[in-house]
């Protein structure tokens, strides 16, 4: 693994981390078809916890099998594969050392009463399963947001001490967050900023729209150009320590392929680090998903 | 670092503390342009957590970069730089040993439903990042005030045992505190007193007005002269163990420069130890902020 | 310190305690002008937490300084000095070994919504500050009373294991306690009894009136003579394990000197162990307070 | 990293190991020019501890610099780099993620009186430095051999629980081992077997001669063909669980290049997994070492 | 403390350390008259433990007082002061924050039977006393050398995790080290190398002579020029990771001032980082010691 200048420059931003954590970040950044470019595409498969198996996998039944996702991520040349405990356990031996994995350590489900998640994995699990990172969701706007922050504070400190990286999914949601705010530009930038302040190495947020939700934010946003998606991405990246933290954007629910490609182009043009794209790939037939991922990778390489 | 008489005299007040904690207090008091005077100016950058990145940094976009604040605090000759975990991590190696840092270990955000904060850092983080102190906010008047006090009780005891100082932000706020009380003289003095009772080494409060909020406090305040801001500062200092604890005053939202200077003069004349001034500096262009800080330092030195 | 028979006899009642805890009780009982008599007068200064600094100290401004109280207690020949964490820390070194101290480990404040207190100190703090005891308030009648009892259960067990004594302030108050009950005879005796049951070494209660509050208690109280304050004190002492636990009575808000002296005589004549007297002394000018304390001591010595 | 059949087949032998440990073994087996072949070449630089810096590095002075060895191992396409704590610390950040590292956790030196080694690193160090394995020497035949075995028992168990692999250097030596036995065939096979029994993932032994040392072993060895070095390698591999454990052979002191190549051919032909080759490379000028390593790699690839 | 390029460049070598440890190294490197130059002079006062008080302090009786040494180190503008537990405790409060201190955590004495030292301090002591580093002696050549190495392995790992630096005194001595070897060039370089391998941040060795002790080292040393003391210093620095670790040289027993100055010049010219000089200063009258230290500092600044 000859380190590229692009990756070196990203790693240098993680200046308080030990070499163990940097090695795991490097593994993700040097993996697959985008290895060395500073861009990354992550496959997350945690929708089964949140929406149930049939809503997640019935559109493409082979995806019920945990091995399917490992194999898809590897064959498509992705950067990492993220999933909850059992999903990783079911393939961790077969695919050991073939692709960096991210243990999603908290999860919600369809009957959760509030906007919160259960802790469903630990740093010790990540070590025994050979994961490069833990993944954790916070819900800014939830009544339980403080509790979630305190959980990741503890887990991230433990992870950093043993060389495991931290990925924070920062998803505005909950009793104090109007529906209209979840995809607002100001809220998305704020969500990314909070993840960075909490010490995340990699930040996952949704692609925001151009709406500004918070009353107090109207004025500062007068001078911020959110007219195109690429510009909105650039603003989120700025909010994540001016590019000193890796930011990836999620694809959301399954949608048309062209829309997926346009998102990737906008993330690239706005200076985002890449995509974390689940349902849009594993809910399609494998051949179609492979094509789509190949094209996304070409986009991140600047070839279309 | 030849210790001055002014600093020795302040350190002598922290009579139950171990030499490790005193050494960290000494580092803050001997740092920068005010080093040795017993006065201090601290740069706090935790507004991104509370108000979001754009409201905090859009007025001066270079401030999105965590290095910007370290450099500003060092170049302006300030006494210390305070920020949440991720913000410090992003510069802790580059600026190691160049300025004392304060790890803000709890933080609120714009969607918090009550007056409380999430724990977002720990004493172990402070040690690995080389911080001189932890910073913690309490909200007297909040339903969660007891919980916050119990959190800082534990963290402060741990910090004191390993030589880390404690700064308490004491901000009256919450369901049991009328809006009119937040800046009342009696409430401000009480807030400072509670921080002292909780064992804070450095107390951060807002500059209070001349209003007396509590009914039961009307009578005792008949004999207390709160007619000028300097006299109100003096009363708060008296309430903080009669000057035995360092008290710094926050600047609040961005405002006119003359008002900032007048505040500094009043703090100085009332016997306060200095300013903790964030938005009024980092939201201005750097050159302007440097000028403002230079002038504040001159004021604390008694030169204007 | 030659041990007197009176003190030996008191110490013998703490028969399950280790010698470390007994040594600390002995220090309190052998200290000052009442040393050896089995009587004691304690100076408590925790009103700043509960009522704020100005309401507490403005009547006698030198009392803003933590050293003032240590010095007053020592110069007046008192038995012990009780205060919250920061107040003790600010003088613990200067006055180390000069007077037994009691670390008040929980505290309320003027904006607390219910009848509860925050934990603001710990047994480890008591050890490092050289305290002889921890002090803890319970509110029988409060919704949070069980939580408070559970807190002191844990802290007292920890304290006993390291030779620190426990003082319980037992103050009926809260949603389940009618105002009329707070000073009722049956309630006061009950409060003292619960403190004894919780394992307190020293019990602090208010001087009760002759009213019987509880319906179910009317009958048993028919045969109890509560017609004089001394008799009521005797009943409370009886309720505290028939004199096997030290009981001290609090003075309440500042009042006329004669009333204070009469209280002391009644406590003495009823077999109480002494007074815990704060505002009635530190809110008076020092010379006046010294005179008052001298006279109280003479009363406890049976000289007036 | 597409896993090859050769590597899959090796990993399958480590059937009780968790995926974390297997991922680290996979990293070593998939690294560099031999990645995927099931063969490996490891660079060990611990001779400075055992023989001193000048005896180790004076023949090629750039090798005094710890970065030299990282770079050599990476540029030559080796499988892993093994060194003691300080040596790894001095380059772990610069080369994070570029090559698997093995933390040598015990070390001897030229003045050690018996055949033993000091523990000089731990599993926690391995985690923070991002190492894939710990390396540990045992001296079968030493008076301290049981102590050494008990040390690796503990460390290896800890390492396995957190996904770190174990490499055992098994070197017959000590008061109970005649000099003639150190390179004997029966002893070498026995040494490899004991390392396997102790739970090593990778076993490092010396290339044995054809001498049979133990009296009791003469008879069984009558039927074992040790007439060529390749056959002796095959016997050692057989002794290491019939090929179920990775066995690498050490190169010993610097010697002629042809002899080094012949060793590699014999290891390959005997079914050994590769070489661990230190002095023969880093004591040569870099260009010469690069050529030698390139040729060794070609040999293991079966190309010469 | 504006960081100089020289110090930045030294700190960059400690690439696996957390910012806390780097901040403490920075404090030493930025302290006193040599602050910022990359050179340092440390005052060690541990001879009382090893030789007794009179042999140490009778030549200059004010040196019996622990404050004497703190004050000397501060007034002379030294970089740090190193001493055992009690010696530091006796001045740690008075001089808190005035000079970096190094807690010597092991010590021998005149009646020790072998070449070993007792552990006499811990990392927790270093934290509560505000020390920047721990200091530890190893005796290469001693029967107990492994035990010593294992002690510092554990203490150094703990220290690194809480931001405390490690200084290793590496003094060849003991049953397996001939007297002639203690100051041999090969042995001194080897001693420095082992300290570096053990993870020391600062290495303290004696100035070696030109004798080569080890038989096996004769050949490699043929090509090493040890004809002048400066060249021997250069060789030791090379052995300490080619200059990637700070190396300071000890002054040994009291000797003539000219000899002390020549040593400093040789250390400087050979690229050493400075002197650790005890008896040669504190056994002289203070004025004389101050003059000597001033001159040594001028030498390190290249002014004589």
Pick the closest to residue B66 from A124, E17, A14, C209 (CA basis).
Answer: A14
Mean pLDDT of chain E: 96
Distance from CA of A226 to the nearest CA of B (A): 12
- The H or E element that residue E42 is part of is strand E40-44
Confidence of residue C251 (pLDDT cuts 50, 70, 90): confident
Handedness of CA E123, E129, E134, E137 (dihedral sign): negative
Handedness of CA D138, D139, D141, D145 (dihedral sign): negative
Q: What is the pLDDT of residue E251?
A: 73
Q: What is the pLDDT of residue A112?
A: 86
| Rounded Cα–Cα distance for residues C27 and C102 (Å) | 12
Of the listed ranges A252-266, A278-292, C280-294, the one predicted with least confidence: A252-266
Asked if the Cβ–Cβ distance from E130 to B23 is below 8 Å, we say yes
Q: What is the pLDDT of residue E1?
A: 61
Minimum Cα–Cα distance from A161: chain E residue: E161
Query: Cβ neighbours of residue E253 under 8 Å, at least 6 residues apart?
Result: E279
Residue A246 · residue A255 · CB < 8 Å? no
Which among B147, B177, B241 is the nearest to C90, CB-wise?
B241
Chain E: partners with 3+ C-beta pairs within 8 Å: A, B, D
Q: What is the pLDDT of residue B149?
A: 97
Residue A141 · residue A172 · CB < 8 Å? yes
| Tokens at D30, concatenated | 């998939």
Q: What is the pLDDT of residue C114?
A: 86
Asked if the Cβ–Cβ distance from A16 to E19 is below 8 Å, we say yes
CA angle, corner A214, sides to A210 and A216, nearest 5?
120
Q: D20 contacts in A (CB within 8 Å)?
A: 127-131
Confidence of residue A1 (pLDDT cuts 50, 70, 90): low
Asked if the Cβ–Cβ distance from E16 to D117 is below 8 Å, we say no
If one counts every other C-beta atom within 10 angstroms of the C-beta of residue D12, the result is 11
Asked if the Cβ–Cβ distance from B74 to E2 is below 8 Å, we say yes
pLDDT digits (tens, 9 = 90+) for E118-149: 999 999 999 999 999 999 999 999 999 999 99
Minimum Cα–Cα distance from B212: chain C residue: C54
pLDDT digits (tens, 9 = 90+) for D119-155: 999 999 999 999 999 999 999 999 999 999 999 999 9
Asked if the Cβ–Cβ distance from D19 to A128 is below 8 Å, we say yes
Confidence of residue B263 (pLDDT cuts 50, 70, 90): very high
Pick the closest to residue B45 from A53, D116, A193 (CA basis).
Answer: A193
Confidence of residue B1 (pLDDT cuts 50, 70, 90): low
- The H or E element that residue C153 is part of is helix C145-161
Q: Is C98 exposed, middle or buried (0-12, 13-18, 19+ CB in 10 A)?
A: middle
Q: What is the pLDDT of residue D1?
A: 59
| Rounded Cα–Cα distance for residues C264 and D26 (Å) | 82
pLDDT digits (tens, 9 = 90+) for A227-245: 999 999 999 999 999 999 9
Mean pLDDT, residues B266-289 taken together: 97
Residue C155 · residue C121 · CB < 8 Å? no
| Rounded Cα–Cα distance for residues C216 and D187 (Å) | 90
Q: B128 contacts in E (CB within 8 Å)?
A: 18-20, 161-163
pLDDT above 70 as % of chain C? 99
Q: D54 contacts in E (CB within 8 Å)?
A: 186, 189-190, 217, 220-221, 224, 235, 239
Q: Do chains D and C touch (3 or more CB pairs under 8 A)?
A: no
Query: Mutate which of B85, B96, B162 to disrupt the E interface (most E C-beta within 10 Å)?
Result: B96
Which among B59, B116, B124 is the nearest to A157, CB-wise?
B124
Distances in Å between the Cα of C87 and the Cα atoms of B133, B194, B199, C125, E128 are 21, 10, 8, 12, 22
3-state secondary structure chain D: CCCCHHHHHHHCCCCCCCHHHHHHHHHHHCCCCCCCCCCEEEEECCHHHHHCHHHHHCCCHHHHCHHHHHHHHHHCCCCEEEEEHHHHHCCCCCCCCCCCEEEECEECCCCCCCCCCEECCCHHHHHHCCCCEEEEEECCCCCCHHHHHHHHHHHHHHHHHCCCEEEEEECCCCCCCCHHHCCCHHHHHHHHHHHHHCCCCEEEEECCCCCCCCHHHHHHHHCCCCCCHHHHHHHHHHHCHHHCCEEEEECCCCCCHHHHHHHHHHHHHCCCCEEECCHHHHCCCHHHHHHHHHHHHHHHCCCC
Q: D84 contacts in E (CB within 8 Å)?
A: 197-198
Q: Is the pLDDT of residue B94 over 90?
A: yes
Q: A22 contacts in D (CB within 8 Å)?
A: 93, 96-97, 130
Asked if the Cβ–Cβ distance from E16 to A15 is below 8 Å, we say no
Q: A23 contacts in E (CB within 8 Å)?
A: none
Distance from CA of A239 to the nearest CA of D (A): 27
Distance from CA of C153 to the nearest CA of B (A): 17
Q: What is the pLDDT of residue E254?
A: 79
Q: Is the pLDDT of residue C252 over 80?
A: no
Contacts by A268-271, CB closer than 8 A, 24 or more apart: A268/A39, A268/A299, A268/A300, A268/A302, A269/A230, A269/A233, A270/A229, A270/A230, A270/A231, A270/A232, A270/A233, A270/A234, A270/A235, A270/A236, A270/A237, A271/A233, A271/A234, A271/A237, A271/A243
Distance from CA of B65 to the nearest CA of A (A): 5
- Tell me which residue has tokens 């007025």: B59
| Rounded Cα–Cα distance for residues A73 and A88 (Å) | 13
Q: Is the pLDDT of residue E275 over 70?
A: yes
Distance from CA of A77 to the nearest CA of D (A): 9
Minimum Cα–Cα distance from A23: chain E residue: E16
Mean pLDDT, residues C98-120 taken together: 95
Which among B142, B153, B196 is the nearest to C121, CB-wise?
B153
Q: Is the pLDDT of residue B304 over 80?
A: yes
Q: What is the pLDDT of residue C39?
A: 98
* Exposure string over E50-77, b if 16+ CB within 10 A, otherwise e: bbeeeebbeebeebeebebbbbbbbebb
Mean pLDDT, residues C17-21 taken together: 97
In this prediction the ipTM stands at 0.95
Confidence of residue D109 (pLDDT cuts 50, 70, 90): very high
Parallel, antiparallel or unpaired: strands C106-107 and C118-119: antiparallel
- Helices (DSSP H) in A198-300: which residue ranges? 218-221, 229-239, 257-269, 279-282, 286-300
Q: Do chains A and C touch (3 or more CB pairs under 8 A)?
A: no
Mean pLDDT, residues E289-298 taken together: 98
Mean pLDDT, residues A238-253 taken together: 92
Query: Mutate which of C47, C52, C130 to disrupt the B interface (most B C-beta within 10 Å)?
Result: C52
Residue E271 · residue E238 · CB < 8 Å? no
Q: What is the pLDDT of residue A113?
A: 81
**What are the beta bridge partners of residue A170?**
A138
Pick the closest to residue A27 from C137, D302, A19 (CA basis).
Answer: A19
Asked if the Cβ–Cβ distance from D130 to A24 is below 8 Å, we say yes
pLDDT digits (tens, 9 = 90+) for B68-89: 999 999 999 999 999 999 999 9
Asked if the Cβ–Cβ distance from D113 to E175 is below 8 Å, we say yes
| Rounded Cα–Cα distance for residues D42 and D28 (Å) | 9
Asked if the Cβ–Cβ distance from D85 to E197 is below 8 Å, we say yes
């Amino acid at each position: 693994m000859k380190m590229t200048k692009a990756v070196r420059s990203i790693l240098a931003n993680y200046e308080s981390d030990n070499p163990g954590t940097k090695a795991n970040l490097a593994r993700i950044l040097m993996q697959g078809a985008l290895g060395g470019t500073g861009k990354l595409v992550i496959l997350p498969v945690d929708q089964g916890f949140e929406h149930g198996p049939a809503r997640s996998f019935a559109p493409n039944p082979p995806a019920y099998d945990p091995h399917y996702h490992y194999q898809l991520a590897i064959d498509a040349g992705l950067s990492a594969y993220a999933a909850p405990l059992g999903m990783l356990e079911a393939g961790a031996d077969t695919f050991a050392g073939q692709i960096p994995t991210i243990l999603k350590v908290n999860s919600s489900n369809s009957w959760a009463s509030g906007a919160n998640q259960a802790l469903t994995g630990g740093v010790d699990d990540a070590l025994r399963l050979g994961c490069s990172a833990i993944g954790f969701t916070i819900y800014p706007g939830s009544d339980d947001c403080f509790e979630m922050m305190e959980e990741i504070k503890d887990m991230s400190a433990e992870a950093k001490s043993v060389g495991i990286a931290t990925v924070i999914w920062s998803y505005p949601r909950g009793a104090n967050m109007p529906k209209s705010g979840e995809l607002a530009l100001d809220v998305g930038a704020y969500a990314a900023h909070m993840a960075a302040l909490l010490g995340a190495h990699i930040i996952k947020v949704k692609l925001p729209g151009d709406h500004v939700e918070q009353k107090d934010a109207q004025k500062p946003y007068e001078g911020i150009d959110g007219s195109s998606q690429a510009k909105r991405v650039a603003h989120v990246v700025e909010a994540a320590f001016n590019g000193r933290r890796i930011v990836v954007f999620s694809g959301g629910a399954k949608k048309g392929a062209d829309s997926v490609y346009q998102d990737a182009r906008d993330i690239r043009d706005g200076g985002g680090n890449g995509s974390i794209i689940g349902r849009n790939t594993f809910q399609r037939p494998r051949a179609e998903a492979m094509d789509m991922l190949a094209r996304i990778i070409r986009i991140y390489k600047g070839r279309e």
